Chains A and B, each alone.
Chain A
Amino acid sequence: GENVEQHPSTLSVQEGDSAVIKCTYSDSASNYFPWYKQELGKRPQLIIDIRSNVGEKKDQRIAVTLNKTAKHFSLHITETQPEDSAVYFCAASTGGSNYKLTFGKGTLLTVNP
């Protein structure tokens, strides 16, 4: 089955700096890659996703890049703010009739004021 590795497990940045979280996946058939943000004690919430037919997607301060050849994808957050502090999860899916996601273990991002 699919295996998703996520790095780093913790990341601390100063407010205004950029943050990058990287994930690799094992199944070359994977074609959908969402990113979720989970604040302490809350539910995971989708912040951005990318499909295999594009290499990059942006939404204001966040962007995701995908390299299908190398089987890795990354989340980029620019101009970080204290409210960006949370756990971020990447995931991958091959789609199909039994569509399900495989998640990475998460990255705890701390943005220091």
Chain B
Amino acid sequence: NAGVTQTPKFQVLKTGQSMTLQCAQDMNHNSMYWYRQDPGMGLRLIYYSASEGTTDKGEVPNGYNVSRLNKREFSLRLESAAPSQTSVYFCASGQGSHSNQPQHFGDGTRLSIL
């Protein structure tokens, strides 16, 4: 039982390059989330998907797009990477959908943009 799996674990990009961060969960959760974590800023929500087929903006969505490919997978895309997007990105999943249940996190993707 892998839980929440993120790929890649590390990535270095040049300004202007694009890339997609992948996330998959095997817990049959309805909701999935993308956060970024910067020093002293806690975890800030970028986008979330309350259920398959829906996505919504979080606190810091600018510069990102997401796709809820199916119930298991939720990807985050940077179309034109900027140095301000250097961060650790965490994907999480939860039962969500009216029930307050914990979110479970992946191991994170450490992204550096030069």
Contacts and interface: CB of A to CB of B under 8 A. Distances in A.
Chain B, interface size category, equals 20 to 34
Interface in A69-113: 89, 93, 95-106
Contacts of A6: 42
B97 A99 contact: yes
Contacts of B43: 44, 89, 103
Contacts of B42: 6, 89, 103-106
B47 to A, nearest CB: 10
Interface of A is mostly: loop
A12 interface: no
Contact of B105 (A9, A31, A44, A96): A44
B40 interface: yes
Interface in B26-71: 31, 33, 40-45, 48, 50, 56, 58-59
10 residue pairs, one from A and one from B, having the closest CB atoms: A32-B100, A105-B42, A43-B105, A103-B43, A99-B96, A46-B102, A103-B42, A95-B100, A44-B105, A98-B50
Given A43-B90, A43-B105, A100-B33, A51 B100 contact: yes
17 contacts: A1-B59, A6-B42, A32-B100, A44-B43, A44-B105, A46-B102, A49-B102, A89-B43, A95-B98, A95-B100, A96-B98, A98-B50, A99-B50, A100-B58, A103-B44, A104-B42, A106-B40
Contacts of B80: none
Nearest to A87: B42
